[in-house]
Amino acid sequence: MTALKEVSSNRSFGGYQKVFSHDSKELGCQMNFAIYLPPQAEDGEVPVIYWLSGLTCTEQNFTTKSGVQRYASEHGIIIVVPDTSPRGCKIPGDDDSSDFGIGAGFYVDATQEPWNKNYRMFSYVTKELPEIINSNFAALEECQSIMGHSMGGHGALICALKNPGKYRSVSAFSAICNPIISKWGQKAFSGYLGSAESANWADWDATELVKGYSGPPLEILLDQGKADHNLTTELFPDNFISACKESQVPVILHMRDGYDHSYYYIASFIEEHIKHHATYLKA
């Protein structure tokens, strides 16, 4: 069993908002994750939602800004929030920019040196972290969903599409839906995976993955602010919606007038997303 060190603990809506650190075998460094334990977890196992954050974030941004604890408490759901990349690995160039390296793991398993040793966020999020959560907390292993924002929205979508049946539902705010045509995605994929000619970028692109999805039914909810300045240059939700329709994969898209890319937007609609996931987690 992985040894956990409690970093902080705060009472919140009848439950506890905690942060733990541990030594990650997958990433080769010490990692933090935040976890909200609702009051229902004191009496037995409850469902889990994993939240994946966006560029430059840590486990703290969503935890402190979204207000998710109120709704997780109401529905009796554990919320797990990992960091967005390995930290402290001292790889040359890992802190040169905000959209690559530290805070920008893009939830892929890197294949290119020197990133392939530590930047394995996909395996961390889908394998190592769930094993830790299931072993140490009152989590219903068979009842889990995943969600995220921006880079984390991309991460949530690919985690669900590449692991059919693992998650009951998936949702995303302002997701980078088609990273192989996004400047953010192209920069990350080139560095972590190699050139488009030498690596199959489509294996890490939600719009491409959904075209071939043939797993169990997966409920997908996308949320997008119409005032998001990244909408037509980085995110491309319309491409994902079109691919879902072609593949007959159910998807819901909410376009929000006047809302941007910020946590003010996320906090405005996080209740809807928790209710959406609760429907499938408790079915």
Active site residues per annotation: 150, 228, 261
Cis amide bond preceding 114, omega within 30? yes
Q: How far, rounded to the nearest angstrom, does the alpha carbon of residue 59 sit from its chain's CA centroid?
A: 11
Residue whose entry in the numeric block shows the structure tokens 């990992």: 82
The residues that bridge with 212 in the sheet, in sequence order, are none
Beta bridge partners of 48: 78, 144
φ, ψ at 127 (rounded to 5°): -125, -65
Query: 3-state class of 19 per DSSP?
Result: strand
CA distance 271 to 148: 14
Structural contact between residues 132 and 113, judged by C-beta atoms closer than 8 angstroms: no
- 174: closest CA among 184, 163, 164, 160? 184
Contact by Cβ (8 Å): 152, 51: yes
What is residue 247's three-state secondary structure?
helix
Select from 142, 173, 168 the least CA-distant residue to 52: 173
> Which value, in Å, is the radius of gyration of the alpha carbons in the chain?
17
